Amino acid sequence: MSITTNQRESAAERVYRSVKADILTGTLSGGQLLSEGEIATALGVSRTPVREGFLRLETEGWLKLYPKRGALVSAPDMHEAVHVCQSRYFVETGCIRAITAPTSDVRRRADVVAELRASLARQRDLVTAGDLAGFAAEDTHFHRTFVDAADNPILSAFYETLRERQQRMVATSIGRPGSDVPAIIDCHSALTEHLEAGDADGFATTLANHLMTVHRIDLPGVTVPGVSQ
């Protein structure tokens, strides 16, 4: 039986999504070499859709292909981590200032706080269950919640472009020896309390320390009280 174009595309899509999910959750780490044959066997497909999926992942920067050898998972460098966290800091703090402005909707802020507290509960449950990949995804959702609450579609669209890198960075950071996931949840709780109190400056300070501590980086250009440069 011949394989149709649609079937081949479907298989390639499955390869793409499966390998990408493993990269984003840290199951596949930077520097790991992938074999077309091993992926094909694991997913029950031929090498052709694996090759097509790999090409798409290389285009997006997740893999580096080496003919006849396989594909190397690209490792995020320190510059990327700094740039992502800088972008997140400026977008997230800007959105918080909009949400806490004197003219903002107090009831809407209360709704956002309730959403964040629900996310905190899910984070604790995920940690208790030992689901760090799920926690990384929920962490990304937590921060996205107050960005979307600012009701600025341009900022939300830009922030969405950071989502996958953000999720992978969190998964990588919490997978390191010595990482303190409960402390991350404590910081998320503090961020929620700052929002509830309308304390945008306190939120900015906590967020900067949070990003630098979790990802073990400095944030050039971020000047808030209590944050070293």
pLDDT exceeds 70 at position 227? no
pLDDT over 60 (residue 7): no
Q: What is the mean pLDDT of residues 136-144?
A: 94
Give the pLDDT confidence of 46-89 residue by residue, as tens digits. Answer: 999 999 999 999 999 999 999 888 999 998 777 888 999 999 99
- Residue 88: Cβ within 10 Å count: 20
Share of the chain above pLDDT 90, in %: 71
Give the pLDDT of residue 84: 93
What's the pLDDT tens digit per position in 13-47? Answer: 999 999 999 999 889 988 999 999 999 999 999 99
Report pLDDT for 76: 78
Residue range 78-215 in CATH 1.10.1040.10: no
The torsion angles phi and psi of 20, rounded to 5 degrees, stand at: -65, -40
pLDDT at 228: 44
pLDDT by residue (tens digit) across 177-193? 888 999 999 999 999 99
Angle between helices 181-197 and 106-128 (to 10 degrees): 170
Structure token digits, residue 178: 């010595």
Contacts of 193 (CB under 8 A, 6+ apart): none
Task: Tell me: pLDDT of 112 over 80.
Answer: yes
Q: What is the pLDDT of residues 113-130, one digit of tens each?
A: 999 999 999 999 999 999
What average pLDDT does range 163-179 have in this prediction?
Answer: 88
Going from N- to C-terminal start, the domains of the chain cover: 5-73, 78-215
Q: What is the pLDDT of residue 182?
A: 94
CATH 3.40.50.720: does it fit domain 5-73?
A: no
Res. 198 pLDDT band, cuts 50 70 90:
very high
pLDDT band at 221 (very low <50, low <70, confident <90, very high): confident
CA distance 229 to 227: 7
